[in-house]
Chain A
Amino acid sequence: MFARFSMLAVVAVLASGCANTSPVLGSKNINYGDTKAVETVTNEFGSTDLQMIAESMTRSLAQSGVLRGRPVVQVYDVKNKTSEYIDTREITTSIKTQLMKTGTARFASDNTDMQSQVDQLKLQNQSGLYKKSTVSKTGNMIAAQYRLEGSISSIVKRSADYKDVFYKFSLQLIDVESGVAEWMDEKEIRKTTER
């Protein structure tokens, strides 16, 4: 009786020891990392550069005091003047998202969203598919008071044992009516690789 009970206890202990209590499934070589970590895998434009630019520009603009009364802003794509491929739309999207969160500005449909906006208005007003009282009327879109434009450029220098990349990101807010630049800021980043 004692031997049978002991065997049962041993089996129970072993079984509980083998039970997988981890919420992870799959290979141990794959890990989720910190999305906010400083990334220095190569010295090309990376996630840290994008995050630093968006953070610095957003805060500088939001705190400048130019955006009084939550004006409507039209964001243009950042011009990529570097020799690298950079998805500059992601920079503008990050800036837009962060500015939106601060509550200091509203955004008009930008050049890429405009076609979808026009298509939707046409569909609602011309197709005859929708209940009249629910249709969004044409001629009520709000025009932007400011436009936000930026560019990123780089200077790359190489020697036998050195590679230096200097990025300069510039952003300016222009009053559409007057054409006057109301705010402007720059962010400079230097990345160096020693071979």
Chain B
Amino acid sequence: MILSPDDPIAALATPLASSALAVIRVSGPGCLQLLGKLAKGARPPAEQRRNRVSRFTICDGDEEVDEVMLAVYRAPRSYTGQDSAEITCHGSIPVIQRLLSLLTRIGFRPAGPGEFTQRAFLNGRMDLTRAEAVNEIVRARTDRARALALQRLSGAIESRIGAAREGLVELRAGLEAAIDYPEDVHDGDILDRGILDRVIALLQGLTSTYRQGRVYQEGVAVAIAGATNSGKSSLFNAMLRQDRAIVSETHGTTRDWIEGTVNLEGIPVRLFDTAGLRETRDPLEAEGIRRTQQVLAGSDLVVYLVDSTRGLDAADENLLARPVGTVVIRAWNKVDLPEARPAPPGFIAISATTGVGLPDLEAAVALSALGGAPLDSGEPLIDSVRQRDLISRALAALGRLREGRERGVAADLLAVDLADAMQALGEITGEVTTAEILDRMFASFCVGK
């Protein structure tokens, strides 16, 4: 639901955890006056100069609760477009909780999810694609993801959509002229094919970035699989740059999968070490293998390891031949050993213990995660389902439009599909507003941003 945009609100902007400092944000008309009831300093918060950080004491009656730093921002030049402040307090959980409850007591309402950004949108400080980008920046787990979200915050998507909309406006003008001035426009000229194709290509370019955008934001799950003792746990540790998994010469050491997180070229990768696949009578190991199958099924990518000193055996061939539904990267491990045989075609030669070939493997994982296409650096990535769905809706309408044009469908009918496409694009940037859009948009936001 949409919350009242002018109540004073407060929320913790940093995680509720013990740390050196914590930041509480407040916003709303009159919030600075309200803060004066708690914050005692050289002068009241409401008279504080803007964009200046000053020391205050938070008092509950006569009791001094905490020494804080207060940054004051005034409407309209603040994040939300309203008077706001950031209180930097000591990061102890009892202090944070005490401050939050004091704020509530003097009239602040705990902010709902995304409410600060919602206010920024309502006050015209940003369009919807930028508001979504803010959310992504907060949630970004790698620098690359953060950089991409920042690019969106600068309005890169808005400008792409704007260009597409401009093309559609031009088409609409031509179509309407054909309808309202039939004598002046020839039948062949009612819809410019060149412009239509250009807009479709532009939007298709944006949708194809969706998957990549998602990959940077959400990351991928990569499982390391292979026969027992093919070096899966060694590779796992090597990729994680830490000794997480137990490594031994004994076949079947890893009985259950373990998970670690690593940043591969900006992509957050959840890496799974799994139990080696082999026939076994040991019920514990059999259970491990069953779990391995589950992990494999849930992974986006599988790195399949083969011990180069033993070569491909029937079991490997069997497993690799079976379609698994996920992308499989083949690695030829232990190439540092003298008994290593040469890598067959399609295998990446590595040594998990010496690190030979590891960069190649990691690059291959990153490339596959992005769908095999390297990232085109210029294109902004869309990564919200909402944007993707709306672009798909626009593309579907434009597809019908192009098809109708070829069939010689009348101008007034073509206009229906054109209107559909324009509506969808307008909803992306928020030029076309519905209450439903706002509700859906802001429901997924972090509190405090």
Indicate whether A and B interact: no
Could you list which residues of chain B lie within 8 angstroms of chain A, going by C-beta atoms? none
Could you list which residues of chain A lie within 8 angstroms of chain B, going by C-beta atoms? none
